[in-house]
A and B are shown apart, each in its own frame.
Chain A
Amino acid sequence: MTATILEVQNLAKHYRQPGNLWSSLSARSRIIPAVDDVSFYIKANETMGLVGETGCGKTTIGRTVLKLTRPSAGRIIFDGQDVTDLSPRQFRPYRRQMQMIFQDLDAALNPKMRIKAILKEAMQVHHPMKNGRLDARLEELVAKVNLKKSKLTNYPPELSGGEKRRVGIARALAVGARFLVADEPTSALDVSIQAQVVNLLKQLQATLGLSYLFISHDLRLVELISHKVAVMYLGRIVEMGLAGRIARKPHHPYTHILWSSLVEKKSRETAGIPNPPEASTPGVFDFQRPVHGCRFAPRCPVYHDKGQPAICTDPDATPPLRDVDASHKVACHFPL
């Protein structure tokens, strides 16, 4: 129950900005740190939520963990085994145990294959089996994710968003995965369907003992489904801890802004929730994306309130992720 299924240590992924001919010759092309020094672990039967804005590196983490892209640095330990440097052939047995539910519904399923073929293929990758047994297993699988059997002969573009999502989940389960990276599994879905999918994920976790890395920008869903949450900002984890604590007692100014910006809270502001410090956030931000030091400083209300302390903008003083509470870490020079 308490075994760690996935551990990530100091993971980094740097992209090289495609430059012109000159910069590629002189090897001076800019390096963009999509993910920098990220460490976390996920226990069996546990969900970790990963939240952050577009482009903060959430998806990159998910893909790196599954070795769909090579990390620039750091280690990935799955089930006690360091899998970072395994060759594709050596890694194959692990593929069966870790799968991804992709964000883009339309692109994640081969549009020219029938649903049946997609699922059968996934089922047979690691466990080749006879047709009769395959059909029985297929039926089982389809029942598990609540997909109508009549949809098996359809092509992906003919399915609705919710059905496509179910197929995506079924495909991940078909290989017998224990650990799933769910990359925005409910984006582009209607709320009524979103609820079905979230319930399905929760129910599968309860019955099959799955572990999830749940990547989303929907804070309420993350809070609902996750046991612990990591908040990312521009490639770094700025705060990590139990879901309820992150949402209700954040220590990082960014986490605070995130949760207090929920439109829902505003629409019910009569309840007497105190005003977030967001009012002092400098209007619109862009362009400034510091790569060293505290990356959030240009947007940070605390930084402005405290009279712009030098340590916040010091490129050599990247705030480390340190404990503030039991299993609650924050990366800030002046935690709330």
Chain B
Amino acid sequence: MNYLPILKIEDLCTYFYSRSKQAFIRSVDHVGLQIAKGQTLGLVGESGSGKSVTALSIMGLVRGEPGVISGSIELNTPEGGINLLQGLGLHVRIHRDNGRIMQVAKDADAWEKTADRNLRGIRGKQIAMIFQDPKNAMNPFVAVGRQIAEAVRLNTAVAGHREARARALHWLAQVRIDSPQLRYHNNPHGLSGGMCQRAMIAMALAAEPVVLIADEPTTGLDATIQSHIVDLMGDLKDELALTTLLISHDIDVIRSLADTVAVMYGGTIMQQGPVQAVLGDTGTQHPYTAALLDSIPDQRLIRSKGYLQAIRGDVLDTMNIPAGCRFYPRCNKVDDTIRAQCRDQEPALINIAGGHRVRCWRFAQARPYSGRAAVHAMQRN
């Protein structure tokens, strides 16, 4: 295992503001992640858990106010390391009360300018993204082959039209589109959903990125197509040694593709670690992860036609984050020894084994982990 992470995110906060309710929507709240070279990190969570906003924050594509407000996103390319949020701390003032961000002042224009400078040559080139809805993410009036060739010419050393076309055909073949010569000339709407997703992957790969972000790449596809795409992504990972941030709400997809997993709930990470430890039958799971796994029907349950283990309550409203643990209102593993703690105090992400961290008071004997230091460092800069 290579210990220099390709992508290292620390203490990322991306908030939105609801003017009518005068409240922050804490979409991404102190998130830390890292991906080692050639590894796939699976980011799993329910809707509103902040997984997509995390991806958009990395890409600098967050729309809305105030948007990204703190943290660091380090990218280690072969040419050297860079912090994508370098120098942005100057344009934002954060006021905390009791550790919680209560007031934010942000100079959006200056932030945008600096962020764009930081991301020049990174976005689309070093970090490429696969979107959930490929038909909308591609230009509907341009043949997919030409769009891929354009990505090649923009993002790699290949400059000539002919070579770019050859590379585009190569990538189309790489994603197992049959008769790439024919498909090259198809417009996106002329392709089926599965093929369009393949073309989208080809376009992302064409930039030869250091990190690939795949945001719900299988959502909305039929079961057979889904499994084809999962197979393809598995093959590509082996063939190209891709470093991938894979975002999905589908635990099975994450389980079959990821090396490490981070489980998000209500804007923050509840558990992260190697896939076997987090999604396996180890018993060291965060109550949320465990409940999530239980709510998917397994073979035994299907045979017995029993009731599913549903998580009570509703998905957390990130505008109303409770003072204690975010999962406390829905948790079924709270017992009286820790109830007060769970209710009143947010647990830290604590390391329970090598790289396996859990944010839960049930595991609180171990040494606490703090990512807050990074913000203070950034503000000092």
Residues of A bordering B, CB below 8 Å: 53-54, 160-163, 190-196, 198-199, 202-203, 217, 219-221, 223-224, 244, 247, 257-258, 261-264, 266-267, 278, 282-284, 286
A192–B227 contact, CB under 8 A? no
Instruction: Find the A residue at minimum CB distance from B176.
Output: A283
Given contacts A217-B222, A221-B297, 17 further A-B contacts (CB under 8 A): A53-B225, A192-B46, A192-B292, A193-B310, A196-B310, A217-B223, A223-B297, A261-B224, A261-B226, A261-B227, A263-B226, A263-B230, A266-B230, A278-B224, A283-B177, A284-B177, A284-B228
B255 contacts A by Cβ under 8 Å: yes
- Cα of A283 to Cα of B315 in the assembled complex, Å: 39
| Complex-state Cα separation, A178 to B191, whole angstroms | 42
Are A53 and B176 interface neighbours, CB within 8 A? Answer: no
Contact (Cβ within 8 A) B192 A195: no
Which residues in B have their C-beta under 8 angstroms from that of A191? 46, 249, 251, 292, 295-296
In residues 231-251 of chain B, which contact A (Cβ within 8 Å)? 249-251
The answer to whether A190 and B224 have CB atoms under 8 Å apart is no
Q: Which residue of chain A lies nearest to B46 when distances are taken between CB atoms in the complex?
A: A190
Q: Is the CB of A286 within 8 A of B310?
A: no
Which residue of chain A lies nearest to B279 when distances are taken between CB atoms in the complex?
A267
Which of A192, A247, A262 lies in contact with B315, CB distance below 8 A? A192
Q: Determine whether the beta carbon of A284 is less than 8 Å from that of B227.
A: no
Question: CB of B100 within 8 A of chain A?
Answer: no
- The reply to whether A284 and B198 form a contact with Cβ atoms under 8 Å apart is yes
Do A267 and B255 have beta carbons less than 8 Å apart? yes
Q: Does B305 contact A (CB under 8 A)?
A: yes
Contact B301 A224 (CB under 8 A): yes
Q: Could you tell me if B309 and A195 are in contact, using CB atoms closer than 8 angstroms?
A: yes
In the assembled complex, the Cα of A61 lies from the Cα of B302 at a distance in Å of 26
Q: Is the CB of B315 within 8 A of A263?
A: no
With A191-B295, A282-B178 as contacts: A199 and B307 at CB distance below 8 Å: yes
- B65 touches A (CB below 8 Å): no
Chain B residues in 8 Å Cβ range of A224: 297, 301-302, 305, 308
B252 at the interface (CB under 8 A from A): yes
Q: Looking at the complex, which one of B222, B228, B256 makes contact with A267 (CB distance below 8 Å)?
A: B256
Tell me the bound Cα distance from A330 to B255 in angstroms. 34
Instruction: Give the chain B neighbours of A162 by CB distance below 8 A.
Output: 314-315
Contact in complex: B47, A195 (CB < 8 Å): no
Min CB–CB distance B370 → chain A (angstroms): 29
Q: Please indicate which of the listed interface residues A199, A257, A261, A263 has the most CB atoms of chain B within 10 Å of its own CB.
A: A263
Residue on A nearest B221 in the bound complex, by CB: A54
- B96 close to chain A: CB less than 8 A: no
Q: List 8 A-B contacts (CB under 8 A).
A: A191-B249, A193-B310, A195-B310, A196-B310, A199-B310, A263-B226, A263-B253, A286-B192
Contacts of B228 in A (CB 8 A): 261, 284
Residues in A neighbouring B193, C-beta threshold 8 A: 54
Bound-state Cα–Cα, A113 to B321, Å = 29
Per CB-CB distance, the 7 closest pairs between chain A and chain B, nearest first, are A195-B310, A190-B46, A192-B311, A195-B295, A195-B308, A267-B256, A261-B227
Residues of A with C-beta under 8 A to B194: 284
Residue of B nearest to A276 (CB): B227
Indicate which residue in B195, B218, B227 contacts A286 across the interface (CB closer than 8 Å): B195
Contacts of A199 in B (CB 8 A): 307-308, 310
Residues of A within 8 A of B226 (CB): 261, 263
| Closest residue of A by beta carbon distance from B294 | A195
| Bound: A170/B319 CA distance, A | 28
Q: Which residues in A have their C-beta under 8 angstroms from that of B312?
A: 196
Q: Determine whether B291 belongs to the interface, using a CB cutoff of 8 Å to chain A.
A: yes
Residues in chain B near residue A282, CB distance under 8 A: 178
Residue of A nearest to B317 (CB): A160
Please judge, given known A-B contacts A202-B307, A224-B302, A284-B176, whether A258 and B195 are in contact too, CB under 8 Å.
Answer: no
**Are the C-beta atoms of B249 and A190 separated by less than 8 Å?**
yes
User: B303 on the interface (CB 8 Å rule)?
Assistant: yes
Q: Which residue of B lies closest to A282 (CB)?
A: B178
